A and B are shown apart, each in its own frame.
Chain A
Amino acid sequence: MKQIVVHQEKCTACRECELACSFSHEGVFNPALSRIRVNDFYEEQFYLPLTCVHCADMPCGTVCPTVAIRRDPDGTVRVLEERCIGCKMCLLACPFGVMGFAPERGVAQNCDLCGGDPECVKFCVPGALEFAEVETDAKAKQKFFASVVHRALAGT
C-alpha cells in the first residue's frame, strides 16, 4: 500500500506537517491535535516525524473492546469514531506511540492518510515526507521504517 515514508535526515523540525494535519482535520492550527508528530531530540539534533504505519497485525485494533478500529480495503487502519468509547486501550497497545486522542470528541485518532492525498506531505518543504508505495508485509514495512531511524541513531 501507499503510505507516508519518512526521510529522517531531511527533517528540520519545522513542524509544518503538524500544522497542516491539524488544520485539515480540525480546522485549527494546533500541533497538539496533529496526527503526525515530530519527535525532537535537540541535543542530538535528531528529529523524527512519526505517524501511524497502518501495521498489518494492527495491535491497536486487536485490543479495541468495541471493534472500533477496522482496516479499509485500501489498507488504511481507521478509527470509527461513532463506535469508539475513548477507553484508550489502543494508545496503550500501539508500539509506536502514534495512536492519538482527541479530548474534545473523546475518541482515539490516527493518521487516515487524508483519504489518499496526505496534507502533511504537501507541506513538507525539505522533502522529509513522501507518499510512496511500501511493502505491505508487516515485518518488511516496519524494518524499513526502523532502518531510517537506526541509521541516524547509530552514530550517537
Chain B
Amino acid sequence: MDARYVLVGNSAASLAAVDWIRKYDREGRILLVNREPGPAYSRVALPYYVAGEMTLEDLWIRTPRDYEEKGVELLDAAPVVAVDPEARKISLADGRSVGYEKLLLATGSECVAPPVSGLSEVPVHYLWTLEDARGLKAAAEKARTGLVIGGGFIGMLAAEALRKLRIRLTIVEMAPQLLPQLLDEEGGKRFGEAVRDEGVTLELGTTVRTLARKPSGEIEAELGNGRKVVVDLVVVAAGVRPNLSCVTPEVCEIGRGILVDEFLRTSRPGIFAAGDVAEVVDFLGGGQRVLHAIWPSAVEQGRIAGANMTGRQIAYDGSLGMNVVELFHVTLAQIGRFREGPGDDVKLLGGGRGDAYRKIVVDRDGVVVGAMYLGDAHGVAEMGVVHSWIRRRARWKDFERHHQPRFTYALTVRDVPEVRT
C-alpha cells in the first residue's frame, strides 16, 4: 500500500494538494487516507443540508471518477492513529501501516467541548462533519425550540439553518457581541439588532453553566446570568481547534497547531502540513504564526504543500484571514486586520449601497491591512477589490481620492497587477 505521497485528510487542503502534486508529478503514487467514509463533501455546505436546501448528493465535491482521473487511491473510513517519522510510516486504526516518501497532514479542525456541567449527560449536537450534520438534521426535524451555545461563525450558521426550519432559538455567547471574530463592536451591534428583529433571543456576555435533561425529554440550560432556558435541541459551537489526532510532539513540532515554515514543511523532514491543522506564516507579517480555520487558506496551503512535496520550492506569502457570510438577511465580510490596533488608521466610508457599513484599516505606513463590510449581498463584491489591494500591500493614498461612490477595479489598475498563478 506504500506510496510516494500519502495525504491524511480528504477535504480542502488535501484535495488542493492533489491538484498541485499532479501539476508537477504525473506519475508518483498518491494515497489519500481519511477517517470519514466516502468521497469528499463540502463542509461549508453542511448548514444548507441541515436546512433542507441541499440533498446529500449535492454535498459531494468529488466523484469516485475524479480520484481515478487524478490517479489517486482513496482509503476511506481509515483513521490514522500514529506517525512514525523514523520508519516513514503511518499506522491505521485497524492495525495496518502505510509507508510514505512525503506525508501531508491535513487533518483540519475539531470542535471544542466547553466546560459546561452536564454536557456529556445530555444529547447535544456539533457541526463540523457530515455525520454531525446528519444527526443535527434528524433532531431538528422533530424540534420546536433550540439553544445554540456560541455565537461565532459556526454557531450562527447553525442558528440560521435552524431558523429556516422554524425553530425558536436562543443563542448564548460569552463575548458581549455576536461574531466576535468577524465583526468589530459597531458591526456586532448592528448585526445583533438584525438577529433580534428576527425573533431570536440573544444572551450575550454570559455562558451556559449547566445542562440537564428534564423528565419531559427537554433540556434545561442554566446560564451564568441566572436565566433558565428549556429547549428540545442543543447545538454546541464553542469554537474549533486543530485536529491533532494523529500527531504527537515527538513526530514534529507543535504549537497551537502543527508548526510549519513558509514552505509548509513541519520540523520533520518529509512531513508537510496544510489547512486548519497548520499554524502558518501570517500574511500581515510580524513573523507570527497564525491559525485560520478557513477554506481559502486551506486551498492555498494545500496547493503549495503539494507542489513542494514534489520538490518545488514555492514560498507561501502567508495566510490572510477572511470571511464572508449572509446571516439573517445581512451580508458581512471581513478581511485581514479589521479591528484596528495601535498606530492604525481607520477609514469609515459612506456612500456605499444602501446603508452599508464599510471600513478600511490602514497601518502606520499607509498600507491597507484590513477591511470590514456589513450590508447587502451585492455590495460585497467591492471587498474583492479591497482584498486584492491587501494582497498586493497597496497604499491607501493611491485610492482615497477615488473611493466614492464605490471601490472598483478601476482604482487598482494604476499599476498593472501581478497575477497570482
Contacts and interface: CB of A to CB of B under 8 A. Distances in A.
A94 B295 contact: no
Interface string B352-385: 0000000000000000000000001110111111
A50 B412 CA distance: 13
Nearest to B378: A101
Interface string A33-59: 000000111001010101000011101
Contacts of B299: 62-63
A92 B382 CA distance: 8
A57 B385 CA distance: 16
A92 B406 CA distance: 15
Contact of A149 (B322, B377, B410): B410
B419 A94 contact: no
B384 A57 contact: no
A106 B413 CA distance: 30
Contact of A146 (B331, B380, B413): B413
B237 to A, nearest CB: 17
Interface string B376-407: 11101111110110000000000000100111
A145 B380 CA distance: 23
B417 A95 contact: yes
A86 B44 contact: no
Contacts of A39: 406, 408-410
Given A48-B410, A65-B12, A146-B417, A96 B44 contact: no
B335 interface: yes
Given A65-B43, A83-B58, A89 B295 contact: yes
Nearest to B44: A65
B296 A93 contact: yes
Contact of A97 (B42, B326, B385): B385
Contact of B419 (A41, A83, A142, A150): A142
B314 interface: no
Q: How large is the interface on A (under 10, 10 to 19, 20 to 34, 35 or more residues)?
A: 35 or more
B337 to A, nearest CB: 16
Interface residues of B, number: 47
Contact of A93 (B44, B325, B384, B421): B384
Chain A binding surface, main DSSP class: mixed
B54 interface: yes
B381 A97 contact: yes
A101 B380 contact: yes
A85 B402 CA distance: 33
B1 interface: no
Interface of A: 32, 39-41, 44, 46, 48, 50, 55-57, 59, 62-63, 65-67, 82-83, 85-89, 91-101, 103, 138-139, 142-143, 145-147, 149-150, 153
Interface of B: 12, 42-45, 48, 53-54, 58, 61, 295-296, 299, 322, 324-326, 331, 333, 335, 376-378, 380-385, 387-388, 402, 405-410, 412-417, 419-421
Given A41-B410, A146-B417, 20 more contacts: A39-B410, A40-B405, A46-B410, A62-B296, A65-B42, A65-B45, A85-B48, A85-B54, A87-B44, A89-B296, A93-B387, A96-B384, A101-B380, A138-B419, A139-B419, A142-B417, A146-B416, A149-B409, A150-B416, A153-B413
26 contacts: A39-B406, A44-B402, A48-B408, A57-B419, A62-B299, A63-B299, A65-B43, A66-B42, A67-B42, A85-B42, A87-B44, A88-B325, A91-B380, A92-B322, A92-B333, A92-B384, A93-B384, A93-B387, A94-B384, A95-B385, A95-B417, A96-B385, A138-B421, A145-B413, A146-B416, A149-B410
